Each structure stands twice: as C-alpha cells, then as structure tokens.
Amino acid sequence: MTAKPELIVDPNQDTVWVEHVALIDRIPRWLAMLALAVIVIGIWDLATARMGWVSPIILPSPGETLDDLIFVGKNLLTGGYMLEALWTTTRTVFWAFLIAASAGFSLGVLVGETKFGERAVMPYLVAIDTMPKVAFAPLFIAWLGFDIASKVALAAFIATFPIIVSTAAGFYAASENERMLFKAMGASRWQTLIRLKLPTGLPYIFTGLKIAAVGVMAGAITGEFLGGGKGFGALIRESASMLDTPRVFSLILYLSLLGLALFFLVAWVQKRLVFWNKADRPGGVG
C-alpha cells in the first residue's frame, strides 16, 4: 500500500495542536461567582420589583432587602436591641460549642481508645444519634427553663455527636505500622495516645468540629424558635409572624455571619495546629 501524496507531511513541520479548554476553566473563580450572583439577583429583582410576579410578603425585592440590611446593620452598630439579641445568640453558640467540643472529645476518646467504650458505650451513642434531636427541645425547656441554658443544651446536644464520631475515627486513624513502631519503642499506652494517636487524629477531630460549628448554630436558633427568649431566633420568629419578610431575610444574613465566623475560627485554628496536613507526604504514612 502506498500513501496518498497529499497525506505526506513536511518532515520539518512540528506537530502542534491546541487542547480545548472549556470557558469556565478560562475565567477566574471570582468572576464566575460574581456572574452567578448577578444572574440570581437579576432574576430575583425581575420577579419581585420589576414584574411583580411574587408578592413582597412571600419574597421582598433585592432593594427592600438591602434597605433592611442597612437598617439592621445600623441597629447592630449603634448597640440597639438587635445587638443585644445577637449577643444572646452568640453567647448561646459559644457555650454550646464549648460544651459539645469537650463532651464530644471526651466521649470520642472513650469510644476510640477503650474496648469498654467501643463495645458498651458506642451502641447507645449510635442509637441516640439516630433520634431527631430537635424533639428533645421541650424536655430541655422543661428541665432548664426558657432562659439561655435550655438553648445551650439543645445546641450542644446536636453538635456533640459529630465530634464523638470524628474523634473516635481519628484515634483509629494511626496505621498498623505506626502502632508497631510505638510498640517496638516500648511506648506506654499514654505515650502512644499523646504522641501518636492524638496528632494523627487531629485532622479528623477538626472535621467534626467544623460540622459541629454548623450544628451548634442550627441548634441555638431552633432552641430560640421553640423556647422564646431574647436571641436572634426569637427576633426572626417575631418578624415572620408580623409578615416582615425583608427583616427575616436580613436577620438570617447577619446570623449567617456568626456561623461563618465560628466556622472560619475553627478552620484557622486547624491550619495553625495541623500544619503538616496541607501537602502530600510521601515520606510520611502513605
């Protein structure tokens, strides 16, 4: 078989071709996010203020929401009643997170490190974890009253379980080789725990803490919805019952700032503490 003359390529010519790159890969991330925000707010504006497809009681326009955001922001900055409510919720979230972190970590160590915890305690924890924990809210109110304590209890109750599970998983995470190394070095159980299992488990524990940071917010607001009090949750409920939908929107937005702050605080501490986990580590444990 002979090749057709037109298929013979100039032997000096490079074989150069361009790989197709999708549009989304060529634009920077911030631009893609901005574009999406513009589109969503555009449609939102169209549906409410411009065309009136949706009633302002159901969905306020972006303009109204912005106005109310500014109003609430001013109230917060000038130390108005909303700041007091935010402070109440912040305190609830803080204490609940602290309690969940210590209880979750302790139970996680018990379950992850002791046979008793693994065999006897874990099944109960799994059973409780499958229950809808919000259903316990009336009990907490009955036990602890309408003050901040019942909200702290509910929020902590919800947030404890992810920390238990991730701490226990973290304590299992040390490899067989690492355990053997410590055994061969004659390390005591305590040394193995502190020098090996705890550091190895830290990334897992922080994953649990991040999930808990989200859960503790949900728990605190649910508690305030159900048990009243002076927090942001009560404020949202009042605004909703007065059909002040823009207010509900802006309160939720400011509330999400609290959640974000807690989440990034945990992420920041993790970055400082678990400095070695950022890169691949071929020399470490594979």
Positions in the binding site for other proteins (CB under 8 A): 175, 177-178, 180-187, 191, 195-196, 199, 275-277, 279-286
Of 35 and 194, nearer to other proteins (C-beta) is: 194
In total, the chain counts a number of residues equal to 286
Exposure b/e, 210-236, CB count within 10 A at least 16 = b: bbbbebbbbbbbbbbbbbbbbbbbbbb
Nearest distance in Å: CB 237, other proteins:
47
Of 59 and 181, nearer to other proteins (C-beta) is: 181
Full DSSP string of 94-157: HHHHHHHHHHHHHHHHHHHH-HHIIIIIHHHHHHHHHS-GGGGHHHHHHHH-SSHHHHHHHHHH
| CA atoms of 60 and 144, how far apart (whole Å) | 37
Nearest distance in Å: CB 184, other proteins:
5
CA 193 to chain centre: 28
Of 124 and 275, nearer to other proteins (C-beta) is: 275
Nearest distance in Å: CB 171, other proteins:
16
Of 132 and 186, nearer to other proteins (C-beta) is: 186
| CA atoms of 161 and 48, how far apart (whole Å) | 42
Nearest distance in Å: CB 169, other proteins:
18
Of 37 and 185, nearer to other proteins (C-beta) is: 185
Nearest distance in Å: CB 180, other proteins:
7
